[in-house]
Structure 1
Amino acid sequence: MKTIFDTPVHELAAAIARRDITVEAVVRQFIDRIEAREAAVRAWQFFDAGLAIAQARQLDRQPVAGPLYGIPVGVKDLMDTVDMPTTYGSPIYAAHRPVADAGCVAASRTAGAVIMGKTVTTEFATYQPGPTANPRVAAGAGPHTPGGSSSGSAAAVAAGMVPVAFGTQTAGSIVRPAAYCGVVGYKPTHGTLPLAGIKPLAPSLDTVGVLARTVADAAFFVGALARLPLMPDPAPGTRLRVGLCRTMHWDRASPAAREALEQAGRTLERAGAVLIDVSLPPPCDGLTAAQIDIMGYEAAAAFAPEARTAADRFSSGFAALLATGQQIDGERFLAAQALAAASRHALSRVFDSVDILLAPSAEGEAPAGLGATGDPVFNRMWSLLGNPCVHVPTATGPAGLPLGVTVIGPRWADARTLAAAALLECGIASQH
């Protein structure tokens, strides 16, 4: 029998809309889960049970409206919220109270969602970790990172505190924490959801997405906000052509991560897919370095105000990122953007012969300790290219922590990408 914690989001929204269950009853169950697990996980930068209940009661008094009616949502603390503090993960903004919601937060409220609270982000969505611990770690094993920068969102979903939570990705900030925490991470095509009201890091890279329990939950949530039909068809009508893309960083993948990719390919093959080994075209070889240059250059520009007035409150790592960005001149920035444009063109030709690509999500399992959030080496290039990416949990590594793979589709082919991810998810489930 399904509980609220394993009911698909679209089914839960439908049950609430029929008044089979009240919004308040749903929210209270998730509050109980937060209160039971938060001391160990520390996923929340701001959480007020009374505020969540007040939202729920208001919705219960109103006519049913919106596809997300009554659905509890976590909001990454990089996103402005009019009724909750927004710190961007920095002491500079410890007392910051926005005057308006971020665009995606406002859209969620309009669609009927309950904003449960603000999930922990690393400092300005970069490298300085917050206090969040990976909830997938066995008792007594010592803390492991949940990944970053969407640390709290991934951990909150993994711990069953919310069914969905917003994330953002500039390098690897949705896919990597999803991989470490064993949840689905969906980074849509760049520009699908609005960046208004979100602290910019590198606007040509910054992408709003979601951490979720399942591919269908991720698709339903983003589809509702973007007004797109993204819900995957469980029975694809054509034979899927899957490109196994080990990328130029294959030597960085652990043996377990390599096996996870091969196993995912075999799972799709059993579901009727055709596997094709894919080598990326030569322009793509420089994408990781180009992403680092663009991110540094744009971050140095975006944080010029704080650098003038509050640089002493930057972490040493963030100060170093900005200093490096200041050393990148405009010509080098333009060269990186030109390489990205050439690579997008070259990759579009790859997608003439395959429907989706399958690539590693991370080097391996979540690293031990909370002093760093892992390396986004397998994510940077896809963030720069702007393609839709879906991390699907597929396996468990030798330390007992989650592993998975990234499904990548052509730009603006998010529905196709999600359908392939759902096919993989279904194949994995059938093996257990």
Structure 2
Amino acid sequence: MTSGETSSGTAQTNSASALVQRIRDGEITASEALEAYLARIDESEPTVQAWDYLARDNARKQAEIADKARRRGAPMGALHGVPLGVKDIIDTFDMPTQYGTPLHKGRRPRTDAYAVERLRSQGAILLGKTSTTELATYAPGVTKTRNPHNPEHTPGGSSSGSAAAVAAGHVPAALGTQTNGSVIRPASFCGVWGYKPTFGAISRTGVLRQSPALDHVGVLAATLQDAGLVAQQMMAYDSRDSAMRPCAAPDLHQAASELPPVAPLMAFVKTPVWDQADSETQNAFGELAQALGDAVTELALPDSFAHIHTMHKTVMETEIARNYHRDYERGADQLSDSLRAQIERGREVRAVDYIRSTESIGALAAIADEILNDYDVFLTPAAPGTAPHGLDSTGSATFCTIWTYLGLPALSIPLMTGANGLPIGVQLVGARGDDARLFRMANWLVRSVSN
């Protein structure tokens, strides 16, 4: 396994940060940029199938409005004229949101999700809805999205369309969500940047309610700077989301260009599921840790972390059973076998086990934060290996589970290429609320590997 390009060779040309500046400087109009992206979509979408709904005409109108605003000297937002994709479980008032299942086919929300409102307010052009798996779970469902690097392989899930759209150069960034591994895993498989923020950093109002104790909104992007630029626009307090707390948003876009102020130290964590990583991944991470020298120390997680996968499953399936109750009752025969099984298992969970599993989140997260007093980040795989062959499965999320359960911020960094030519990400995980340090460490790691 070797280090490689970030995604389809498009990372440098497919940059939201660069596009915003070019539009501000008058080098290109928002309409011209949009047409270039639409041409890329026309070229590869028949194969990639990243989109569930494309709003071409509406996007063109948005671009025209953006160009008129610039010409008359109106204030321009941080994402002025930038086309973005939105995962099809996040509400948009002017486009359908169908949750990747025939049970919600044709659903038209009346309002935007709060995160979408924030992006619109900063001038983003919402190009369409990216495909997702069935109710954002494990089964591909109605989505037919393929990995842009090899269409015979999965793009991952459930933010499959968002990751594939960015990797194919259709948009510089797209919204995703993660309840287990649904941002980090597809980012790894598709060779793009994936960012899952600290739990509660981005509002989930207007987002499919799957597991409120675990649900995160995240970003798939062509560059680290783009991930930070898009994410920080959504980091505004929303009292309707009980996971949020009033606080200032970090300047992630700036942090993505900075280096740590002191010599960095990463904890290389194999996690209790190290045996599920393929030998190529195990060897590659061993070589990476060795190459980084004194900046990396191997660390074993406390024994108390050994049961997190079980507790995560208990919380997730119990809350899925609660929140997907109506879908199960009115259309169980239209659900996949895997989702029916999750709901049915969730219905059988004892209250004492669910309460114990939810109450353990805060206690174990505090232990992780304490460990990270001595380290900048955890270094660990984003996935067991490259994207599996076939489209019947979205691959394993096992290397994401611990960090999602704990609500720690995580990045998938497109650093490696497998022997089969497919990408695989390196995952960095930071302390809760320390997302800016995580971005600085990611920038440092990429520079160190590139030198």
TM-score by length of 2: 0.90
- Hey, what does 1:31 align to over in structure 2? 38
- Hey, what does 1:154 align to over in structure 2? 163
- Which letter does structure 1 place at the counterpart of 2:65? Q
Partners in 2 of 1:323 and 1:285 — Cα distance? 25
Decide whether aligned partners of structure 1 residues 411 and 106 sit closer, same or farther in structure 2, where only a CA change above 3 A counts.
same
1:214-229 alignment runs, 5 A limit: 214-226=223-235, 227-229=249-251
Superposed CA offset, 1:42-91 (max 9, x none): 00000132221111112112224211111110000011111111110010
- Hey, what does 2:263 align to over in structure 1? 239
Decide whether aligned partners of structure 1 residues 362 and 7 sit closer, same or farther in structure 2, where only a CA change above 3 A counts.
closer
- Which letter does structure 1 place at the counterpart of 2:367? A
**Preserved CA contact (<8 Å) 2:10 2:169:** no
- Hey, what does 1:318 align to over in structure 2? 339
Partners in 2 of 1:4 and 1:172 — Cα distance? 23
User: Are positions 1:411 and 2:432 aligned together?
Assistant: yes
User: Are positions 1:356 and 2:409 aligned together?
Assistant: no
* Residue aligned with 1:124, SS: helix
**C-alpha deviation, 1:5, in angstroms:** 6.0
Identify the range of structure 1 (47-56 vs 401-410) with the bigger mean alpha-carbon deviation.
47-56
- Hey, what does 1:84 align to over in structure 2? 95
Superposed CA offset, 1:233-278 (max 9, x none): 4333210111000101111111221133234334544xxx621111
- Which letter does structure 2 place at the counterpart of 1:111? Q
**Preserved CA contact (<8 Å) 1:261 1:358:** no
**Preserved CA contact (<8 Å) 1:388 1:409:** yes
**Preserved CA contact (<8 Å) 2:86 2:162:** yes
User: Are positions 1:133 and 2:140 aligned together?
Assistant: no
Cα-Cα RMSD? 1.7
* Count of matched residue pairs: 422
- Hey, what does 1:50 align to over in structure 2? 57
User: Are positions 1:230 and 2:248 aligned together?
Assistant: no
Superposed CA offset, 1:192-244 (max 9, x none): 11100011110110000100111111112112332431132433321011100
**Preserved CA contact (<8 Å) 1:79 1:102:** yes
- Hey, what does 2:18 align to over in structure 1? 11
**Preserved CA contact (<8 Å) 2:138 2:394:** yes
Partners in 2 of 1:337 and 1:198 — Cα distance? 21
1:297-316 alignment runs, 5 A limit: 297-316=318-337
- Which letter does structure 1 place at the counterpart of 2:38? I
Match of residue 181, structure 1, among 160, 185, 190: 190
* Residue aligned with 1:310, SS: helix
Partners in 2 of 1:351 and 1:335 — Cα distance? 24
User: Are positions 1:68 and 2:79 aligned together?
Assistant: yes
* Residue aligned with 2:189, SS: helix
Partners in 1 of 2:108 and 2:14 — Cα distance? 34
**C-alpha deviation, 1:7, in angstroms:** 5.5
Match of residue 108, structure 1, among 119, 143, 148: 119
**Preserved CA contact (<8 Å) 2:203 2:234:** no
* Residue aligned with 1:196, SS: coil
- Which letter does structure 1 place at the counterpart of 2:411? V
User: Are positions 1:261 and 2:277 aligned together?
Assistant: no
**Preserved CA contact (<8 Å) 2:259 2:441:** no
- Which letter does structure 2 place at the counterpart of 1:336? S
Superposed CA offset, 1:98-134 (max 9, x none): 1011111111101100001000000111011120000
- Hey, what does 2:413 align to over in structure 1? 392
**C-alpha deviation, 1:3, in angstroms:** 8.8
Partners in 2 of 1:64 and 1:156 — Cα distance? 29
* Residue aligned with 2:306, SS: helix
Identify the range of structure 1 (229-238 vs 31-40) with the bigger mean alpha-carbon deviation.
229-238
**Preserved CA contact (<8 Å) 1:264 1:424:** no
User: Are positions 1:200 and 2:222 aligned together?
Assistant: no
- Hey, what does 1:250 align to over in structure 2? 274
- Hey, what does 1:169 align to over in structure 2? 178
**Preserved CA contact (<8 Å) 2:23 2:30:** yes
Gaps of 5+ in 1: none
Identify the range of structure 1 (379-388 vs 398-407) with the bigger mean alpha-carbon deviation.
398-407
Partners in 1 of 2:288 and 2:116 — Cα distance? 34
Partners in 1 of 2:232 and 2:287 — Cα distance? 29
Partners in 2 of 1:101 and 1:9 — Cα distance? 22
Superposed CA offset, 1:279-316 (max 9, x none): 11121111111111100011111112222323332222
Partners in 1 of 2:257 and 2:26 — Cα distance? 27
